[in-house]
């Protein structure tokens, strides 16, 4: 501490001189002196630096205060008064570093600042390594969409039941927030179910906007039918299809499996090519309507012949003439682009269902 006492007169001179450049220069010297000695200082000694640095850092240019904030933000025992003063600065450039990183701010400080801060300050707060429920309650209530997404994606943030409900409500109008929340493991079951329902409804509306209500309803029905789970061991088929994929997996491979009675292998291959779980293809094959298989086959640009082979391999055999003609017309009318979009929706919905069950 002899070094501190030796410059007290210089500090007073810098403050009373009225010369901003001299004051900033002295502030930098004192900050450097503190950070060099910080690991060896006790709280009383830190308090002495606190008073000096606080006096020097008041009423100086924003750039110098921002520099001080950046220099002290990661110091575990930084001067408390200085850090609080910087955290309350109206400039986010100054407050940001300590709001985001300084461990010297108490929970009560964070709550107080969050209640009156602007969006840039809230954004900095949202990135802290840990955040208590009292703080996040304020952030999710006052933050804009960007801030709320940031805090929702912060795995070190904790939320109250009320906080999670606010997040879920906001997710109704913010699809990106909904996606962020589905990645959290601590979302309560009730809110997770709401998020799944919101995502499903958003997907349904997107399909309706793109394809029309009738097509959207048909696609949703096909997907819903295909999403149940069948108790079948798919390991042998998965292994065989994976081996074939290395050599080249195509429509001929699927047709070969179908004509040789290896229907499960063909369905697993079809699912792989369509980018959906194998169980979806098996359920589509067992569905009471031809729609699920139709969407799968068209999504991978396979021919009518492949769809006929799949229909013939079902337990009830080939449909009668009228039903087969209807299936052919539907095959002709359904575009590949539409089928592919529906399959992407199917895969996304499957992930949502898995997240809901987790």
User: CA of 319: how far to CAs of 262, 299, 327, 342, in Å?
Assistant: 20, 22, 9, 24
Residue 197, SS3 per DSSP: helix
Rounded average pLDDT over 26-50: 91
Note the pTM of the prediction, 2 decimals: 0.65
- Say what the pLDDT of residue 16 is: 63
The 10s digit of each residue's pLDDT in 261-283 is 999 999 999 999 998 888 888 88
**DSSP for residue 127:** T
One-letter-per-residue 3-state SS of 72-86: HCCCCCCCHHHHHHH
What are the beta bridge partners of residue 157?
Answer: 131
Exposure letters 45-73 (e unless 16+ CB within 10 A, then b): bbebbbebbbbbbeeeeeebbbbbbbbbb
Indicate if the pLDDT at residue 99 is higher than 80: yes
Instruction: Report the C-alpha gap between 177 and 171 in whole angstroms.
Output: 5
> What are the DSSP calls for 132-145, one per residue?
-HHHHHHHHHH--H
The 10s digit of each residue's pLDDT in 44-56 is 999 989 999 999 9
Report CA Rg, the chain. 32
User: CA of 242: how far to CAs of 5, 239, 248, 285, in Å?
Assistant: 75, 5, 10, 21
- Say what the pLDDT of residue 321 is: 84
- Say what the pLDDT of residue 228 is: 46
Q: What is the band of 229 on the pLDDT scale with cuts at 50, 70, 90?
A: very low
Q: Where are the alpha helices (DSSP H) in 18-172?
A: 20-37, 43-57, 62-72, 80-87, 92-101, 107-116, 119-126, 133-142, 145-152, 161-171
């Amino acid at each position: 501490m002899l070094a501190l006492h030796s410059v007290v007169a210089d500090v007073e001179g810098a403050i009373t001189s009225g010369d901003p450049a001299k004051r900033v220069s002295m502030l930098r010297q004192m900050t450097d002196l503190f950070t060099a000695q910080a690991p060896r200082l006790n709280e009383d000694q830190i308090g002495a630096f606190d008073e000096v640095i606080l006096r020097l850092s008041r009423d100086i240019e924003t750039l110098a205060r921002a520099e001080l904030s950046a220099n002290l933000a990661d110091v575990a025992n930084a001067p408390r008064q200085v850090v609080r003063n910087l955290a309350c600065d109206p400039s986010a450039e100054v407050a940001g570093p300590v709001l985001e990183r300084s461990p010297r701010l108490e929970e009560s400080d964070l709550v107080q600042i969050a209640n009156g801060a602007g969006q840039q300050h809230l954004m900095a707060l949202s990135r802290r390594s840990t955040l208590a429920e009292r703080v996040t309650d304020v952030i999710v209530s006052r933050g804009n969409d960007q801030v709320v997404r940031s805090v929702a994606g912060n795995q070190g943030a904790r939320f109250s039941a009320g906080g999670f409900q606010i997040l879920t409500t906001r997710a109704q109008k913010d699809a990106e927030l909904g996606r962020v929340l589905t990645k959290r493991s601590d979302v309560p079951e009730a809110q997770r179910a709401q998020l799944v329902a919101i995502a499903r409804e958003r997907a349904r509306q997107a399909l309706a906007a793109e394809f029309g209500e009738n097509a959207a309803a048909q696609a949703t029905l096909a997907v819903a039918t295909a999403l149940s789970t069948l108790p079948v061991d798919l390991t042998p088929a998965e292994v065989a299809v994976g081996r074939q994929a290395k050599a080249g997996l195509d429509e001929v491979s699927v047709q070969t499996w179908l004509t040789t009675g290896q229907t499960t292998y063909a369905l697993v291959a079809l699912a792989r090519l369509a980018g959906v779980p194998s169980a979806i293809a098996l359920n589509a094959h067992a569905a009471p309507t031809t729609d699920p298989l139709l969407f799968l086959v068209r999504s991978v640009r396979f021919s009518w012949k492949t769809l006929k082979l799949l229909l013939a391999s079902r337990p009830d055999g080939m449909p009668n003439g009228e039903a087969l003609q209807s299936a052919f017309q539907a095959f002709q009318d359904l575009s590949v682009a539409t089928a592919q979009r529906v399959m992407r929706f199917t895969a996304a919905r499957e992930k949502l269902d898995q997240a809901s069950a987790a």
